[in-house]
Amino acid sequence: MTTAPVHRPQLAADNITLAKGAGRGVGMALIVVGLLAALAVLGMGLSGAAGVTKKHALAVYHTGAMGVLAMALGGLFFTMVFHLTNAGWSATIRRQCENLASFLPFAWLLVLPALVIEIANHGLLFAWLNPAYYHDHALQVKSAFFYLPNHIVDHDTHKVATEPVLPVFFLARALVYGVVWTLLSRRLCALSRAQDASPSVELAAKARFTSSWGMLLFALTTAFASFDWLMSVDFKFFSTMWPVWYFSGAAFSAMALLVLVFARLKAVGKLEGVVTSEHFHDKGKILFSFTVFWAYISFSQYFLIWYGNIPEETAYYYFRTFEGSPWRTLGITLMIGHFIAPFLIVLFRPVKKSPLALGLVALWCLGMHFADIYFVLRPMVDAGTGLPPHIMGHLWVDLAAIVGLFAVLVGFLIVKIPGLSLVAHNDPWIDESLEHRNYV
């Protein structure tokens, strides 16, 4: 597949390739089992089996889907950043970012069932889909954003619709996100794959150019997807920081997952001298910086809303954090688990340089990433019921949906990774990456 030049013996084929079809069975099994688990949760919710409610099933499924979507978006983000900045050190890790980004179309497909069920059931978590809320002024002022060209209030008669209205604009945007993400991820992966066959700097230059306008599209689609699919779950809530928060989690979780991928590849004896402790050091630094960035963004959003103390904003946080709310504990757990603990641990250089230590932290971080999205969606199960928020049991349902969807992503990566060389071995920056040292 590849011939290693004399001066870079690390790129010998057996060091940077896995056997074709290696782990395929495990990967496919993970995909099937994961998908079945997640769909079973949805099915139980829809049929009401075992006392699982529709809203509950949908909230946990949506948590898993938005969580893996964030990781795939983070993979696309890092791919583009490395191209855009002419980064040298990252040449040996970019291929796995691309593999992660190539999950984007599937992540999009995983979100779709949640949206379809929402619309078919006229709003379970997304109360704005429910005709009972059409009279709400807070919904009417923003209804164009969801429903155009349809209207929930008739323009001439001012009569509020009593039948569910199809949210055309909302669906059209969902379609746009899917198209943009698919095109971007496929194009960048295709350019990289073509480079494996024929070393050409023009392909790298093309990828760099794609990343420039791609980054613009990425920012806009990620922002509005986060509004559409997460923030609008509480249609009265609004925050300009929201897309930045979702992005911070995307970059954070993607880097955590990449650390795990490389820790595993190192554990099976691959990438010797190609992805070294120096690369792990840098990945650790990125993980660290996005832990801090997430905390900065989450804190700023919370703090400004708390300080401003305007009812229409504080309701979102009050519901989750008032004394006695079961979600308060989760909020504090996020503070410690998503920020303080990883901050204090990854701060130390030996942790960053060790695949095992960093891998363990990364695993924890992935859990925290799902918990972060869970904190947004899961409390909404009780919203609008008039009941105080409570944890209704059936924690296994939550785990089945979230872990199931994560297993789909992991299975996809296991199947995908051996299909290509583990590194973009013809990347023009490969030499710089192979010689990468943080401190000399």
Partner 1 sequence: MTSTPHPDELTAQRLAGLARGPVGGKDPDPVTGDGTLIDTPGVRAPLVLNDRSFGEITNIICGYTENPVPRWWYAAAAVTAGLAAMMTVFILYLIITGIGTWGLTNQVDWAWDITNFVFWIGIGHAGTLISAILCLLKQKWRTAVNRSAEAMTIFAVICAATFPGIHIGRQWMAWFLPPLPNANAIWPNFRSPLLWDVFAISTYGTVSLLFWYMGMIPDVATLRDRADRRLRLNPQSGGPLLPFLPIPVDLIRAKVYGFLSLGWRFSGRHWHRYEAAYLILAGISTPLVLSVHSIVSMDFATSILPGWHTTIFPPYFVAGAIFGGFAMVLLLLIPARELYPHMKDFITLRHLENMAKILTLTGLMVGFAYSMEFFIAYYGGNEFELYAFKNRATGPYWWAYWTMIGCNVLSPQVFWNKAMRTSPFVIFIVSILVTIGMWFERFVIIVTSLHRAFLPGEWHMFSPTAVDICIFVGSLGVFTHLFLLFMRFLPMFAMAELKAVLPIASPHHGPGHGSGGHQHGGGH
Contact residues: partner 1, CB under 8 A: 7, 86, 88, 137-138, 141-142, 145, 201, 204-205, 208, 212, 216, 219, 223, 227, 238-244, 285, 292, 296-297, 300-301, 304-305, 307-310, 312, 427-429, 431-432, 435, 437, 439-440
Q: Which residues contact 305 (CB under 8 A, 6 or more apart)?
A: 239, 313, 314, 316, 317
Q: Which is nearer to partner 1, 297 or 334 (CB)?
A: 297
Smallest gap from residue 364 Cβ to partner 1 (A): 23
Residues 394 and 284: their CA atoms lie apart, in Å, by 35
Smallest gap from residue 241 Cβ to partner 1 (A): 4
Q: Which is nearer to partner 1, 238 or 364 (CB)?
A: 238
Collapse the DSSP code of 235 into the 3-class scheme (helix H, G, I; strand E, B; otherwise coil) and give the result: coil
Q: Which is nearer to partner 1, 209 or 396 (CB)?
A: 209
Smallest gap from residue 423 Cβ to partner 1 (A): 15
Smallest gap from residue 210 Cβ to partner 1 (A): 13
Max intra-chain CA distance, the chain: 79
Residues 383 and 396: their CA atoms lie apart, in Å, by 22
| Torsion-angle region of 229 (φ positive above 0: left; ψ -120 to 50: alpha; else: beta) | alpha
Phi and psi, residue 345, nearest 5°: -80, -45
Smallest gap from residue 19 Cβ to partner 1 (A): 30
Q: Which is nearer to partner 1, 47 or 212 (CB)?
A: 212
Q: Which is nearer to partner 1, 98 or 382 (CB)?
A: 98
Q: Which is nearer to partner 1, 99 or 426 (CB)?
A: 426
Mark 238-259 as b/e (b = at least 16 C-beta within 10 Å): ebeebbbbbbbbbbbbbbbbbb
Distances (CA, A) of 53 to 256, 265, 397: 32, 41, 10
Smallest gap from residue 242 Cβ to partner 1 (A): 8
Phi and psi, residue 80, nearest 5°: -70, -40
> Which tokens hold the place of 385?
């019921």
> Which tokens hold the place of 108?
């999009």
Residue with tokens 């709400």: 136
Collapse the DSSP code of 116 into the 3-class scheme (helix H, G, I; strand E, B; otherwise coil) and give the result: helix
Judge whether 207 and 83 are in contact, CB under 8 Å: yes
For residue 153, the cross-strand partners are 160
CA 279 to chain centre: 23
Task: Tally Cβ neighbours within 10 Å of residue 434.
Answer: 22
Q: Which of 55, 390, 380 is nearest to 236 (CA)?
A: 380
Q: Which of 187, 28, 42 is nearest to 111 (CA)?
A: 42
Smallest gap from residue 72 Cβ to partner 1 (A): 21
Amino acid symbol at 363: L
Residue with tokens 């992805």: 275
Q: Which is nearer to partner 1, 243 or 389 (CB)?
A: 243
Q: Which of 212, 282, 267 is nearest to 432 (CA)?
A: 282
Q: Which is nearer to partner 1, 53 or 143 (CB)?
A: 143
Smallest gap from residue 434 Cβ to partner 1 (A): 11
Q: Which is nearer to partner 1, 106 or 227 (CB)?
A: 227
Q: Which is nearer to partner 1, 292 or 399 (CB)?
A: 292
Smallest gap from residue 393 Cβ to partner 1 (A): 34
Smallest gap from residue 300 Cβ to partner 1 (A): 4
Residues 203 and 188: their CA atoms lie apart, in Å, by 10
Smallest gap from residue 223 Cβ to partner 1 (A): 7
Q: Which is nearer to partner 1, 149 or 269 (CB)?
A: 149
